[in-house]
Chains A and B, each alone.
Chain A
Amino acid sequence: MINFEEELKRFQPIPEVNQAEDAIYSNDLKDISDIVFQVTEEMKSASEDVANRMVGRVRR
């Protein structure tokens, strides 16, 4: 049996025309290339950290 209250929760207000800009900004999702780019940047910074630590140890 349909639970009206539960079903009503599925319906959300729709954006009006003056809220279209917000809809555009909120719609900018991440794709595979963004994720790969993020992962490579993290790996790059991690490797730089390791290199800096190594250099610090050598200097000491």
Chain B
Amino acid sequence: MATKKPVLCPNCGAHIKKNGYCSACHMPLPVLKKAFNTSDYYYNIGYDRAVARDLSGAIDSLNISLRYNKKNIMSRNLLGLVYYEMGEIVNALSQWVMSVNYQLNGNLASKYLKELRQDPTLLANVDQIAQKYNLALSYARSEDFDLSIIQLKSLLSANPHFVKGYLLLALLYINSDNYERARTTLRRVLKIDKANTLAIHYLHEMGDTDENIIEMSKESVENDGLLDADEEAITLSTMGKKNGSRVKMFFGDLVERYKAKAVSRGEYGEISLAKYSGIYVLLGMVLGIFLLYFIVVPAQKRKITDEKDKLIKSYSEELADKNATINSLTNDIANLNAELEAANNPDTAGDNPLPDYSGIQNGMSDEDLQNMINNE
């Protein structure tokens, strides 16, 4: 007979009594189970939203999940990850540190913290970005809008995923009636966080419809010129771009890991190969040129040479025929001329050739001439 496994309290690990209450902390087990299930439910919603890039929605769901169970490691790690993607690295760190505090072994947050610790320049830059943002905010509050914009552009060049920075920059542009710049800035927000409520609120206030906003979020933000205008004011550009791509790579890598662990609930997002289209076109052109020069052109040359040879041969044969005809006709003409001449002079023709007058000399008398003719 199998022994019944003792039920342990999920809160403190002590035995649960027969009445359903913990023997140590006196917590009711059904209530705890219900709370933990609800926490997992909100984690799943948060996960789906994060994968669909509704990051602010994911933050809401994951915070609710933690309200039901603050020791939900998956929720806490994912919340840290979402904060990291939105450029709020201190918040991400705090979530991961608490996660490690609740569970040290087999916790992904340990790996994230280790990766961050391995790059001390990243933490220094994070600190600098926070200082710049706070400075920009204080400039904005004291109505030094130009200085505030310069600070924000500088920090956004260093961390292109910092959503709060974009939102403040958009607000400053709206305040200076520079609506196109504000739209460009908010488009960048929507690229990171598709359903950012503040960004959508600002766009609605600028007169954009929901359809416009959806179209806008699909447009590319590369080379939109938002952060290029004041590059001379940017001090962190080189290091910052590196870190920005690192943030993107880090988030992508970690989302992949979460995907592998989470229960599949449908596919979100698309794999875009558009960035490789230029390379594909170039490769196609090179291949086309290769085929043209090494296969098509030699075949054409061979074909033309064959045709030329055939033509020369036919012309040569025709020329030989013509030459033969000319020769035979020339012979005919000669024969006919001879016949004609014979017909015109019947006396001289035949066996009586003209006498030989080679013996005639000057001063011969008529008599000598007559003798000579007679002798002949």
Contact = CB atoms under 8 A, between A and B. Distances in A.
B195 interface: no
Contacts of B226: none
Interface string B148-170: 00000000000000001001100
Nearest to B65: A31
Contact of A29 (B67, B91, B137, B168): B67
B90 A40 contact: no
Interface in B135-187: 137, 140-141, 164, 167-168, 171, 174-175
B171 A8 contact: yes
Nearest to A12: B137
Interface string A1-13: 1101001101101
B113 to A, nearest CB: 12
B130 A14 contact: yes
A17 B205 CA distance: 35
A27 B94 contact: yes
Nearest to A2: B205
Given A4-B171, A15-B90, A23-B90, A37 B127 contact: no
> Looking at chain A, what size class is its interface with the partner chain?
20 to 34
Contacts of B174: 2, 4
A1 B27 contact: no
Given A8-B140, A16-B127, A32 B67 contact: yes
Q: Is the interface of B mostly helix, strand, loop or mixed?
A: helix
B66 A29 contact: yes
Nearest to A26: B94
B68 A31 contact: yes
B262 interface: no
B98 A28 contact: yes
A40 B130 contact: no
B70 interface: yes
A10 to B, nearest CB: 7
Contacts of A20: 90, 93-94, 97
Given A8-B140, A14-B164, A24 B31 contact: no
Interface in B19-48: 25-28, 31-32, 35, 39
B198 A1 contact: no
B34 to A, nearest CB: 8
Contact of A4 (B28, B95, B131, B175): B175
A20 B66 CA distance: 19
Contacts of B140: 8, 11
A30 to B, nearest CB: 8
Nearest to B198: A10
B112 interface: no
30 contacts: A2-B175, A2-B202, A4-B171, A4-B174, A7-B171, A11-B164, A11-B167, A11-B168, A13-B134, A14-B90, A15-B91, A16-B90, A16-B130, A17-B126, A19-B90, A23-B94, A27-B95, A27-B98, A29-B67, A30-B70, A31-B39, A31-B68, A31-B70, A32-B67, A32-B69, A33-B11, A33-B27, A36-B32, A37-B27, A44-B26
Given A2-B205, A23-B94, 7 more contacts: A2-B171, A8-B140, A28-B70, A31-B35, A31-B67, A33-B11, A36-B32
